[in-house]
Amino acid sequence: MSQSKHIIHTAPHTSTSDALAEDKPPALPPYNWAGQNSAATLFYVTSLPEADALLAKHLSFTSGVVGFDLEWPPTFRKGQPENPVSLVQIASQDAVFLFQISKMRSFPVQLQTLLENPLVIKAGVSVKSDAQKLWRDCNIHVLGCAELSYLARSADNARWKGSYKSLIGLARLTEVYLGGVLDKGHITRSNWGAKLTPQQQAYAANDAYAGYSLYVLLKAMVDVDVDPTCYTFNVVRGLLYDITSTTGKLLTTEEAVWEMPASKLSPWRALNPAYDPGPLPERKPKTGDGDRGPTTEATTTTTATTATATTTTTTKKRYHKNLKRSQGPTRRQQEYTQSISLLPPQA
């Protein structure tokens, strides 16, 4: 008999917590914009002339894509109006610009030119809301907006189900496609109108550069048959439009914003006919649709509980009423009795 027949093989003991730990994916590292491109440069700009000079030097205004985001100080009182935009973040492949417009006497002309050019895509999450706020605060149009949530649903429909209009957070998209965790801690609600700390600069740069990187990656994934108007639009005077000429080509900034007839403005809405939202969530049966409602036992218990509570309340009221009576006349009654006793006797 060989020795191997006497060997009993046993699996190592694993607790439930150990098994869950093994199934859990490893923690993702913090997202760092500089790790995406070590040659990229960060510019924190508070001067109007410097803003225009940097944009003219580093960015092309003919085509391309930039990550786009805004920051402003939070409000801490209910009903207080929202603070105006303090920071405009723009990210390209080689540079991140943090324009603190709250420290400038006017809006940078070159930045306005960039934002109002429909041929330069501005990518972000909830980009519609940011563009509308920029119009309310600064009277700036934002053309060529790309909503990353809609682009992700169009490019990776198998992963994302549900309503096409439902937004997907930038942090979630960054985890899934860029493999990093965006810090969304207390810095989010810090004072963006004061001089920015290194932590604030890193936070703002991460959001903008993640937007740029996600657009490039998702755009490469999306099917060529998907119409770009499924996820891109223009915000003019705070409203969403498809802005095309009669030939179907995008017009220049000047024509689109200032000289375009109203008949050529087509309202835009989020729609992708090829998008599959998946099965509808199950509806819980309502009373009367086959559901008999609560059981007799549950109804009896509820009735008894209600009766007990009513009895307790009545008893408390009766106790306080009797207590007042036992304490004798009130102060007002005493004062009235005294005033009556001081009156002269009637003849």
How far is Cα 296 from Cα 95, in angstroms, rounded to an integer? 69
How far is Cα 205 from Cα 88, in angstroms, rounded to an integer? 10
Q: Please, which pLDDT band fits residue 282 given cuts at 50, 70 and 90?
A: confident
Task: Quote the pLDDT of residue 183.
Answer: 86
Please indicate, yes or no, if residue 285 is contained in any of the structural domains.
Answer: no
Q: Please, which pLDDT band fits residue 26 given cuts at 50, 70 and 90?
A: confident
Please indicate, yes or no, if residue 255 is contained in any of the structural domains.
Answer: yes
Q: Please, which pLDDT band fits residue 1 given cuts at 50, 70 and 90?
A: very low
Higher-confidence position of 168 and 315:
168
Short-list 153, 175, 171, 172, CA closest to 162: 153
300 and 234, same structural domain?
Answer: no
Please indicate, yes or no, if residue 176 is contained in any of the structural domains.
Answer: yes
Q: Which helix (H) or strand (E) holds 62?
A: none
Taking the C-alpha atoms of 329, 333, 339 and 342 in order, what is their torsion angle to the nearest 10 degrees?
Answer: -30
The predicted model gives 14-25 an average pLDDT of 55
Per-residue pLDDT for 28 more than 70?
yes
How many Cβ atoms sit within 10 Å of the Cβ of residue 138? 17
Task: Quote the pLDDT of residue 269.
Answer: 94
Task: Quote the pLDDT of residue 15.
Answer: 52
Please indicate, yes or no, if residue 141 is contained in any of the structural domains.
Answer: yes
320 and 193, same structural domain?
Answer: no
Please indicate, yes or no, if residue 81 is contained in any of the structural domains.
Answer: yes
Number of domains making up the chain:
2
35 and 106, same structural domain?
Answer: yes
Task: Quote the pLDDT of residue 283.
Answer: 73
Please indicate, yes or no, if residue 273 is contained in any of the structural domains.
Answer: no
Per-residue pLDDT for 207 more than 90?
yes
Q: DSSP readout, 292-308?
A: --S-HHHHHHHHHHHHH
Q: Which helix (H) or strand (E) holds 230?
A: none
Q: Please, which pLDDT band fits residue 245 given cuts at 50, 70 and 90?
A: very low
323 and 212, same structural domain?
Answer: no
Higher-confidence position of 320 and 129:
129
- What range does the domain containing 144 cover? 27-267
Task: Quote the pLDDT of residue 63.
Answer: 80
- As a whole-number percent, the residues of the chain with pLDDT over 90 amount to 57
pTM for the whole thing? 0.72
Q: Please, which pLDDT band fits residue 189 given cuts at 50, 70 and 90?
A: confident
179 and 52, same structural domain?
Answer: yes
Per-residue pLDDT for 136 more than 50?
yes
Report the DSSP beta bridge partners of residue 23: none
Q: Which residues contact 61 (CB under 8 A, 6 or more apart)?
A: 113, 114, 117, 120
- CA atoms in the 13 A half-sphere facing the CB of 55: 25
153 and 262, same structural domain?
Answer: yes
Per-residue pLDDT for 218 more than 80?
yes
Report the DSSP beta bridge partners of residue 121: 65
Q: Please, which pLDDT band fits residue 126 given cuts at 50, 70 and 90?
A: very high
Higher-confidence position of 11 and 272:
272
The predicted model gives 130-146 an average pLDDT of 97
How far is Cα 220 from Cα 15, in angstroms, rounded to an integer? 44
241 and 198, same structural domain?
Answer: yes
Please indicate, yes or no, if residue 347 is contained in any of the structural domains.
Answer: no
Q: Where are the beta strands (DSSP E) in the chain?
A: 41-45, 64-71, 87-91, 95-100, 120-124, 142-147, 232-236, 239-243, 265-267
Q: pLDDT tens across 303-333, in order? A: 555 555 555 555 556 655 555 555 555 555 5
Please indicate, yes or no, if residue 193 is contained in any of the structural domains.
Answer: yes
Query: Which domain-ending residue is among 220, 250, 267?
Result: 267
Q: CATH no. for residue 187?
A: 3.30.420.10
Task: Quote the pLDDT of residue 314.
Answer: 59
Short-list 268, 283, 194, CA closest to 232: 268
How far is Cα 114 from Cα 253, in angstroms, rounded to an integer? 9
333 and 218, same structural domain?
Answer: no
238 and 194, same structural domain?
Answer: yes
Q: Where are the beta strands (DSSP E) in 101-227?
A: 120-124, 142-147
Per-residue pLDDT for 142 more than 50?
yes
Q: DSSP readout, 212-224?
A: HHHHHHHHHHS-T
203 and 92, same structural domain?
Answer: yes
Whole-number Cα distances in Å, 51 to 90, 97, 215, 256, 334: 12, 9, 25, 25, 81
Higher-confidence position of 282 and 275:
275
Task: Quote the pLDDT of residue 194.
Answer: 95
Task: Quote the pLDDT of residue 211.
Answer: 98
How far is Cα 104 from Cα 108, in angstroms, rounded to an integer? 8
302 and 232, same structural domain?
Answer: no
How far is Cα 90 from Cα 209, in angstroms, rounded to an integer? 8
201 and 158, same structural domain?
Answer: yes
**Residue type at 65?**
V
Query: Which domain-ending residue is among 267, 288, 306?
Result: 267
